[in-house]
Structure formats: structure tokens, C-alpha cells
Amino acid sequence: MNLFNFYSFRFSRRIFFLVVVAVLFSATSWAEWHFLPALTLEESYDSNIDLDPDHESSDFITRFFPELRVEEVTATRTFAATYRMSLNNYNRHSDHNYIGHEGELSWDQQLSRNLSWHIMDTYYRSEEPLEDDPEYTGVRRTRNEYSRNTVDTGFTYQFGAADSVTVSYYDNRLQNTDSDIADDVQYGPSLGLEYWLSHSHGLALGYSWNRIDYKDDDPSEESNDFNIGYRWRWSQHTLLHLDYGLLLFSSKASSQEEEDGGDYDDYNVHSVSAGFEHTFNPAYSLNGSLGSYFHDPKDGKSSTGTIYGLDLVRSFSRGSVTLSGEGGYRLDYSGENADGFTETRGVSLSSTYSIASRTELYGSTSYFYEKGEQEEGTRDETWEVSVGTSYQILSWLTGAIELTQRERNSSDEQDEYRNSLILLRLRGNYELR
């Protein structure tokens, strides 16, 4: 079953536009709408525009971003739609010049007292070597155009104060003009249930079916994911939980590849973890979890790994600090350098601080590790450090300067790179009501 003939990106863009128009004309009061046009001008120096490991090419890049955001918030509906165009001009490498597009749609609708519906849609078209979505970390070695559109929609039925069931559908489509990267579509439904047996004890159940099809009759990938969790509300500010997950994954080979006797992924993954969520006060919270997973391939050696998660958020009068960590595994079957079942771990720290009413300092640092479990899977480590400051020149105009350093070390020398970026930004916005 190949979904590539269901609709094109051109058709999805028309649907996006028609949804926005339909919501606009169904508005009961124009006073509830906010129109937020914005213009951003960026001038940057990039030391390695192609993220090449051996032959680094630097350039000065001018980017111009016209943007329009539309918002509406009522008692029964929250709606927001954003369109952003990017005009990218390279000073020395004019062959890299391109026009990019981004679109976002978010709509939450209360259909009745207990039933609600939501849809979230993101679209972008780019020629950058790294995709905008951090989930896809492969580096493209050509600057051919690619597009990705992601839709998540579903219904939630609230049948108790904290009891609900959600049915949703996910669709993620990638199209490339690069002939070496296969177009793919990832799709499938999911079901989630949260039910509290009493004020202190509850259950969380989840199931999702997911499939990835490839345009050129490559093998398709299919997974079934089961989750069950126990929740214990220990106090007003503390929640403890215990979770178990089972992932069943298999590859569906094309008829030609079956005849050639190729190797395909086929495995199960069991995972168990325990964690807590604690709110010290409205400005200070800490969440954490720890566990392990067991990767059991049909053909190959089994392995185990650690699952962990950490989120610390601390806000104060002049700023905030956020510490996040996550480790475990993910399925990487889309885009460039897809490594299949991948062991991952990472940590990030970000902070903001207002040194004056109009001046803010901000910075972040992150580390991410991923290792493919396949026989020729790569091992990558990526570091990033970024610092910046912004100044509100006028009520509608803000300026900023940012410095960023990125570096990737890899078992595959072609995946390594080092990159330094200096960025100057002016952003102006205005609200029409």
C-alpha cells in the first residue's frame, strides 16, 4: 500500500490555505482576531556553509524573512496560523541562493462539553544541509531542494475530572529533488487512555501503529508500539510513575529485494522505567525518570541500554534556567543517513537573564550522542555552544547578536564537521487588531 498517490505537497498547501480562510470567515467577532506581520533581516558569517569535513567554504549570508501570523482565542477555539518566507543570499557562492518557505497551523476546537478536536500542521521547504527538525540529524552533501510536511490530528473525549481518551492520526511526508535520498511517507493512528481509579492511583495506556513507505519501491517499515503506565499521586505537588513499553518492528521488502536475499530489520524492544514529577512552586519544577531497554533482533545479537529523562525548569524575576537530558533509543528511517534502530543520549542547558529593561543575555549548550545498531551503523557526537544578547531598540524593533560553535565527531569521517557562526539580527513586528 503506497500513499504517495494520495496527495501532493501542492494539494496540502491548498488545504492549509482553505482551512485558514474557512476559520477567518467563520469568526463570530473580528475583535477576537490578531494579525501579526513581521519582518526580520539577518546578516551572518558562516565558516562552513556546506558542513564539509575537509574543504570548508565560508561566506557572508544575508537573509530576509517576511512573516504573517494570525491568532484567535475564544471560549471554544484556539487558532493560530503562521507563514514565513526566507530569501537567502550568499555573497561568495551565489549558486547557493534560494527561497525557503515555512508554515505552521494549530487549531484546538471544543466540539461539545466533553469532546474536543485538534490539528497541528508544520511545513518547510529548504536547501540547508541540516533539516530544521532536530530529529533528523543527517547532513546532506548536496544543496538540492527538499520539503517536509507533518500533520497530527485527533479527538479527545473527557469522561472524568482527569480521565480522557484520545484517538489521533500522524502523517509525515518528505520529498527530495536529490536522487540519492528516497522520498518517504510515515503515517499511522494512535490511541491513548488515562484513567484514575481513585484520587491517588491511575493508569495510562497507549497504542500506536506506524508505517514508512518509500517512493521507489524500497522496503517499507512497520511498527506496533504498546505502552502501559501506573500513576501514583503522592501529594499535591508530586507524581510518581512506573512505565512499561513493547515495540514490535519489521521491514517489508519489495519483491525484487526478496529475490536478491537482502537483510532487513526485524526486532522487538522491551523497556521499563520509573520516574517522578515534582512542582516546588509555580516557577520551579523537576521531572526525572530512569530505566532500561532490551533490544532483541530476530537475526543478530541482543543488547541492553539505559533510558533516562531529566527536566529542571527554574524561573526567577530576571530570567530562567532550563536543564534537560534524555537517553534511550529512537527509530531513524527517514532522510539522509538513516541508521535504523539508534541508541541516543543527550543533555542541554539554556539560560536567559535581563540585565536591564530592554537588554537580555541568553546562552545554551548541548551534547548529543547517537549510535546505529546496524552492522555498518555510525557513531556520532555533536556539541553546540551558543551565546547572544538582544536589545529592544523601539517598542516594535529588536536587535540581536549571536555567536554559535558546532562540532560533530563521527566514526565516519564524511559525517564530521566544524562550524562557527556569527549572526546579526533586526526584527520588527506590529499587531493589527
Cβ atoms of 8 and 50 closer than 8 Å: no
Cβ atoms of 349 and 331 closer than 8 Å: no
Region of 138 please: left (phi>0), alpha (psi -120 to 50) or beta: beta
Q: Please report which confidence band the pLDDT of residue 86 belongs to, taking 50, 70 and 90 as the band edges.
A: very high
pLDDT tens digits, 181-239: 888 999 999 999 999 999 999 999 999 999 999 887 667 889 999 999 999 999 999 99
**Domain extent for 137:** 3-429
pLDDT at 5: 47
Higher pLDDT, 372 or 367: 367
pLDDT at 113: 94
pLDDT at 261: 52
Q: How many CB atoms lie within 10 A of CB 268?
A: 16
CATH number reported for the structural domain that contains residue 273 in this entry = 2.40.170
- CA-wise closest residue to 306 among 346, 248, 366, 265: 346
* pLDDT at residue 6 is higher than 70: no
pLDDT at 293: 97
* pLDDT at residue 318 is higher than 50: yes
Range in 82-96, 326-340, 350-364 with the lowest mean pLDDT = 326-340
- Write phi, then psi, for 14 (nearest 5 degrees): -65, -40
pTM score, two decimals? Answer: 0.86
Number of domains in the chain: 1
The three three-digit cell numbers of residue 374, written as one number? 546496524
* pLDDT at residue 13 is higher than 70: no
* pLDDT at residue 178 is higher than 90: no
pLDDT at 332: 85
Q: Which residues make Cβ contacts (< 8 Å) with residue 412, sequence separation at least 6?
A: 378
* pLDDT at residue 114 is higher than 50: yes
pLDDT at 98: 96
pLDDT at 71: 94
pLDDT tens digits, 28-81: 556 678 999 999 999 999 999 999 998 899 999 999 999 999 999 888 999 999
Q: Please report which confidence band the pLDDT of residue 376 belongs to, taking 50, 70 and 90 as the band edges.
A: low
Q: How many CB atoms lie within 10 A of CB 406?
A: 19
Cβ atoms of 84 and 124 closer than 8 Å: no
**In the predicted model, what is the mean pLDDT of residues 268-277?**
97
Averaged pLDDT of the chain: 89
pLDDT at 172: 94
pLDDT at 289: 97
C-alpha separations of 75 from 31, 78, 109 in Å: 14, 8, 9
Q: How many CB atoms lie within 10 A of CB 249?
A: 22
